[in-house]
Amino acid sequence: TDVVPVGDAAAWTRDPFGGDIVGGVLFGRGAADMKGGVAAFVAAAAAVIEGGIGGSVSLLITGDEEGDAVNGTVRMVEWAMANDQIPDMCVVGEPTNPDALGDMIKNGRRGSLSGHLVVTGRQGHVAYPHLADNPLTRLVAMLAPVNGTELDGGTPHFLPSAANVTTIDVGNPATNVIPARAEAKFNIRFNTEHSADSLRGWLEEHFTRVGGDWHAQWKANADPFITDPGPLTDMLAAAVTEITGRTPALSTTGGTSDARFITRMCPVAEFGLVGKTMHQVDEHVDVADIEELCAIYQSFLVRACGEVVG
């Protein structure tokens, strides 16, 4: 599977791709997110198939989830739907647990919309503002609805939708010059109360009311989705409890994942390792957790295949 870049390799205390095991802890980029999860579900599938089960098991391992996510899972979902190869259900091995294995199952994710807003004015001397047109004044007004704002009260399954400014740039190092151009980037994580189109329309209406010369570019990264509690989440939770003794919470928190594509064809939930060190220097997981995760996946597969064919 794919992983994020190592960053400064010199900052690591272990070879990022060495797979060193020290004191029962596996170090390496992707150990948590999510080579460890892949290893667990490959081993689990091999074990249950060898032992004999009533259903069929397919594995999908993609190479671009951490990138643009345009030629991996989304293409396989399109192929599966076009070729009548739609699964009954799917589990994604993302590192869903915040602190301990068994804490959390993800049964949905918020949507993501990114915006890039450019406001154009007229450059001038700050001592003569009447001869200039400061784009920053309008930019600040335009950004008011997305500056750390909650857009709703949340839903039974989702936190409130939230918008945050991530970048502001005027390309102007001087303090005595009014810039000719100001731009900003922002992101909205939204629940099922909204869509990318509705949010874009709402903001463009606001930008127009503020006025002046502006243009915006948009990227709809993901739609929100929810897998309602039911057979999939029940069987997965039962497997988690059987192996760990914990009762996992259902959650839709966090970022996006490739589950957003899989939900188009079948119920999907996510469960994997503890994610506390994912994307960090010295990313690591307990080997014992990988072994337990493998056992959880085995238990789930036995339950699911019995449920599907029974």
Catalytic residues: 2, 65
* Tokens 């996992």, located at residue: 248
Angle between helical axes of 287-309 and 231-244 (0-180°, round to 10): 140
The pair of three-digit structure tokens given for residue 2, joined into one six-digit string: 């794919």
Residue 67's Cβ-side half-sphere holds a number of Cα atoms within 13 Å equal to: 13
**Residue 239 one-letter amino acid:** A
**Alpha-helical runs (H) found in the chain:** 36-51, 73-82, 135-143, 196-210, 231-244, 259-262, 287-309
- Residue 67: φ, ψ to 5°: -105, -130
Q: How many residues are listed for the chain in this entry? A: 310
